[in-house]
Amino acid sequence: MLVCHLAAFVAASRCFCRYPGQYNIRHYCKKTPSRLWVSEALSSSELRENIIIQGWVRSVRAQKANLFLHVTDGSCLQPLQIVASSELNDPSLTFGSAVEVTGVLKRSPHPRQPVELEAHHINVVGKCNPVEFPFKIKDRHSLEYIRQYPHLRCRTNAFGSLLRIRSEAATAIHSYFKKNGFVNIHTPIITSNDCEGAGELFQVEPSGQKPKEDENFFSVPAFLTVSGQLHLEVMSGAFSRVYTFGPTFRAENSQSRRHLAEFYMVEAEVSFTQSLEDLTEVMEDMFKSATEHVLAECSEDVDLFHKYVTPGHRGTLDAMMTTSFPIITYSEAIEILSRSSQKFVFPTDWGCDLQTEHEKYLVNHCGNIPVFVTDYPYDLKPFYARDNQDRPHHTAAAVDLLVPGVGELCGGSLREERLDLLKNRLEQVGLEDAYSWYLDLRQFGSVPHGGFGMGFERFLQCILGVDNIKDVIPFPRFSNSCSL
């Protein structure tokens, strides 16, 4: 039976060969090249024939007999060396051009390059004009320079490393929450709530039509979210641990190194909390767990930043990872600032909000490691922060995590679960009608709970030592700038 089937297949293949463009049996026996990522090729422990590498040329060196290329595909920082006959050289093989290379993966005689690809064929898929291309082969461009080219900066080593680190950091955060029993909630981007109460909102309206007076698409004014916290509080009535990770928006008219109009927030809510320590433990554990993952999975990329972009920062990061984060109260922080000989621009009286200059001083005072500041003045915090009902200073059960180089990284609080106190606070600020649904949460099975938010870009700044927040996000959005 097998012989009959083979004979029939051979006869059919001969028949196909009578027509142009058809394949004969020898085509089916020809082995298709196997595609490898550059990272796979560099880590390969065996020689492999007939493979294909697709990527972009990082350097070209032509000799009399041989041609040497360095090709990368974004899978890792290190490029793969391509060795070819000079007969395969092509004028369009330039820095930045896209290529497909077929050949044999073999061991390299050079110790720094464990393997190389001996090319049999090079196909230039996309040409690149090296004269007009803003990045040069041998130049080390600053983050400020490449920021001018948001559509091209992903092709540089530094920003390519940043994007791989960002990807792994996001993976690490999701992994941490999953391992610790948190449910991921997709909170809405369009909302009618102003969670922070700052009024710095982007209003959402349909384009192409002029709405009538007092008419809204959603029947109520709608905005881009500034936080998913209130929606997480809804979910915390059914799930003991929830989190969200997504974009948030602030219409803050600032072009400073610290601010963006669009950024990513990691927010978590924990039910059945007993104290602020329940939150600080999660914050510190998440920070260290995510950082450890990034250091393990992106060691070369992190080293590039710590060696060339922010030299000396690795020691600071190592100290953060090996030390427990101290906890001080807001009142203790004000006392430290008041005793300082440093002249601050903003006042340091009790009741004043801590500014960046204060936050950075407190971090340095505590040994240049992250520090928690708790129990802020009650009047500084939003309506949902739990009242400590203390005297003489009236404080709320709120906490901020301050970190080196950045200042505030995380902010959170216990939520006011006592219906009478929450109702009185909403009446004081004139929000009892808008947040009647929030009061309902306290009437139907409410439990003590609390939560926090962490700015994802600020986390990246902290572990890499990057000074400008616009250098740790793919497409920065801020006032007077919305490129692409």
- For residue 243, give the nearest of 263, 260, 265, 223 by alpha carbon: 265
- The number of beta carbons lying within 10 Å of the beta carbon of residue 438 is 21
pLDDT for position 21: 44
- Residue 216: what pLDDT? 81
- What pLDDT score does 206 carry? 87
CA distance 303 to 300: 5
pTM tops 0.85, yes or no:
yes
Domain ranges of the chain: 34-126, 154-471
Alpha carbon 359 to chain centroid distance?
A: 23
Task: Decide: helix, strand or coil at residue 449.
Answer: strand
**Which residues have C-beta within 8 Å of that of residue 64, sequence separation ≥ 6?**
86
Look up residue 355 and give its amino acid.
Q
Give the span between the Cα atoms of 399 and 395, in whole angstroms.
11
Strands, E assignment, 250-344:
262-271, 327-329
SS3 of residue 409 by DSSP: strand
Alpha helices in 307-413 (DSSP H): 313-322, 330-339, 356-365
**Which residue is it, tokens 């093989």?**
93
What is the per-residue pLDDT for 197? 58
DSSP state of 33: P
In angstroms, the CA 268 to CA 264 distance is 13
- Residue ranges of E strands in 254-306: 262-271
**Tokens 């896209």 belong to which residue?**
98
pLDDT means over runs of 10, the chain (484 residues): 47 45 45 88 87 96 94 96 94 95 89 87 94 86 92 94 98 98 97 72 84 76 92 96 96 85 97 96 98 98 96 96 98 97 95 96 97 97 95 95 97 96 93 91 94 98 97 92 84
Contact 215, 249 (CB under 8 A): no
Q: Specify the pLDDT at position 483.
A: 82
CB 106 within 8 A of CB 115: yes
Q: Which two tokens stand for residue 180?
A: 């610790």
Cα–Cα distance between 79 and 38 in angstroms, integer?
A: 7
Half-sphere exposure of 329 (CA within 13 A, CB side): 13
Question: Of 3.30.930.10, 3.30.413.10, 2.40.50.1070, 3.90.1420.10, which CATH number belongs to 154-471?
Answer: 3.30.930.10
Per-residue CA distances from 293 to 42, 279, 287 (Å): 21, 21, 10
pLDDT digits (tens, 9 = 90+) for 307-350: 999 999 999 999 999 999 999 999 999 999 999 999 999 999 99
Cα–Cα distance for residue pair 368/404, rounded to 1 Å:
6
Q: Which amino acid is at 415?
A: R
Tell the CATH superfamily of the 34-126 domain. Answer: Nucleic acid-binding proteins (2.40.50.140)
**In angstroms, rounded to a whole number, what is the distance separating the alpha carbons of residues 284 and 170?**
16
Q: Are 372 and 326 in contact (CB under 8 A)?
A: yes
Helix residue spans in 147-276 (DSSP H):
157-179, 229-235
CA angle (307 as vertex; 304, 310 as ends), nearest 5:
100
pLDDT of residue 31: 67
